[in-house]
Amino acid sequence: MRPDLRQTVRGMRDLLPDETWRLRFIEGCARRLAELYGYEEVITPIIEYYELLAAKIGEENRKRMYVFEDLGGRKVALRPEFTASIARLVSTRMVSAPKPIRLFSFGSLYRYDEPQLGRYREFWQANYELIGSDKPEADAEILSLTSDFLEAVGLRNYVIKINHVGVLRGILGHEGISEDGQNSIMQLLDKKDWDGALKLAEDYGASQRCVETLKRLFNLRSEDKNAVFKGVSEAVEGYPSALEALDNFSGIIDLVERIGLKIRFQFEASFARGLEYYTGVIFEVYVPELNIAVGGGGRYDRLIGLFGGIDMPAIGVAFGVDRIMLAMEEQGVNPPKPERKRVLVVAVDENNVADALKIAVALRRHGVQAEIDVMRRGLSRALSDADRRRIAYAIIVGPKELGEGKVILRDMRNKVQEEIRIEDLPGKLSVF
Ligand code: HAM
């Protein structure tokens, strides 16, 4: 079937100037926060080897990758996230960099998701990775950065859904379920298919005690950490590594609380994420207006070792910029767009075009935002168009004034005009 060339490819969008401005506003907030927390920006390729991106990304995400063969016969893919590329980079060219390594990335990603509100096939993330520490303060830093990011873009009323995969993996591992088996169970949990997860655990040979433990965990969700931690600790008795994970989890939350951050947590013992590389705390950010996550992250202590041979603990978070934009809209957050005063230079007739161009060039060199009339619609139409486009000043370049080294400067809002010497223009206009 011939494609309709007036349409973007399904799942892809054009961003008009206002939307692009909002995306760049969020990027600016993200970049400022990176600086404040000491994260340095890196740029990695949009195309990577398929095997790199596919490792530990989880079955669902793997199926949704844009995979193709390049002209050299290499199996490559468009990146669906930054984390794999960062892990590759750190395990190769940054392997001996002093720890911790704090890296920031911003850019577009590609997933063949089913398009709907907030779910696109090309989307943007602001991504932060903190590499080299397995201490709870590293986890606390990422959570504090998450809360600061949401505040910085102006979002209110968000909840961080949080869990620790070490608890579930600790139970399943104790039961002798292989990592692959655990991953399949986690995929079902990510889709909230609790019955399916229980059934699969049984198929993999989980004991009756394990099934009962999982059932208890699946019912534990609350904003009250004490209720959830107590419930989990009772449920996982006899599973030492699950208890260890719980201990780590409560230490992190304790630290976050002591920073004094007003983060609303939703503790959910059955919460899992589709990405398979997580080994510790995992979380997703929600706003009440949208039922999809605006950000997500977690600890992954074994991914970097997969590529470089040396394990390096790490934790990170990525914000979905497109969804942050939607959330801002829903919550009525309208960052003021700083508007520079604009100047339009109009030639009265075609003999003055070169002079008009010259004046515009000189003004821009003085930092004045000067546009030139390129339509030759005649003076009165050019002025009414300038009004419509909220131009502050028009400079009218005509033969009579030019003869005296002058032009007409028209204040568009007050509709007053004066003759002014050309060399005085920058001084007059560069003050705003
Ligand atoms: P993720 O949860 O797959 O995590 O993606 C993070 C965020 O990207 C999501 O919360 C969502 O806001 C946004 N996102 C994902 N898919 C789409 C889509 N199809 N359309 C629009 N937005 C989308 C990661 O990507 C991990 N790499 C995060 C991380 C960094 N973990 C450790 N370090």
For the domain that residue 255 is a member of, what is the CATH number? 3.30.930.10
Whether ligand 1 lies within 6 angstroms of the CB of 317 is answered as yes
Indicate whether 315 belongs to any domain.
yes
pLDDT at 88: 97
Average pLDDT of the residues in 317-333? 97
Indicate whether 4 belongs to any domain.
no
pLDDT at 309: 79
Q: Do 278 and 394 sit in the same domain of this protein?
A: no
Q: Which of 258, 270, 169, 186 is nearest to 222 (CA)?
A: 270
Rounded Cα distance, 315 and 321, in Å: 20
Domain residues for the domain of 361 are 343-430
pLDDT at 262: 82
Indicate whether 186 belongs to any domain.
yes
Q: Which of 411, 328, 380 is nearest to 151 (CA)?
A: 328
In 10 A of CB 401, how many CB atoms?
A: 18
Q: Do 264 and 380 sit in the same domain of this protein?
A: no
Whether ligand 1 lies within 6 angstroms of the CB of 187 is answered as no
Q: Tell me which DSSP letter residue 392 carries.
A: S
Average pLDDT of the residues in 298-310? 93
In 10 A of CB 322, how many CB atoms?
A: 22
Rounded Cα distance, 79 and 53, in Å: 7
Q: How many domains does the chain have?
A: 2
Average pLDDT, the chain: 96
Whether ligand 1 lies within 6 angstroms of the CB of 80 is answered as no
Whether ligand 1 lies within 6 angstroms of the CB of 276 is answered as no
pLDDT at 337: 87
The pLDDT-based confidence of 333 (bands split at 50, 70, 90) is very high
Average pLDDT of the residues in 392-416? 97
pLDDT at 137: 98
For residue 146 the two structure tokens come to 């998450």
Asked if pLDDT for residue 432 goes beyond 80, the answer is: no
For residue 112 the two structure tokens come to 């063949």
Rounded Cα distance, 417 and 408, in Å: 7
Percent of the chain at pLDDT > 90 equals: 95
Residue whose CA is closest, atom 10 of ligand 1?
Answer: 295
Looking at ligand 1, which atom is closest to the CA of residue 125? 8
Residue 138 Cα to ligand 1 midpoint, Å, equals 20
Looking at ligand 1, which atom is closest to the CA of residue 121? 19
Q: Do 215 and 359 sit in the same domain of this protein?
A: no
Average pLDDT of the residues in 349-370? 96
Sheet holding 342-347, edge to edge: 369-372, 342-347, 393-397, 406-411, 416-421
pLDDT at 232: 98
Instruction: Encode pLDDT of 22-65 as tens digits.
Output: 999 999 999 999 999 999 999 999 999 999 999 999 999 999 99
Whether ligand 1 lies within 6 angstroms of the CB of 123 is answered as yes
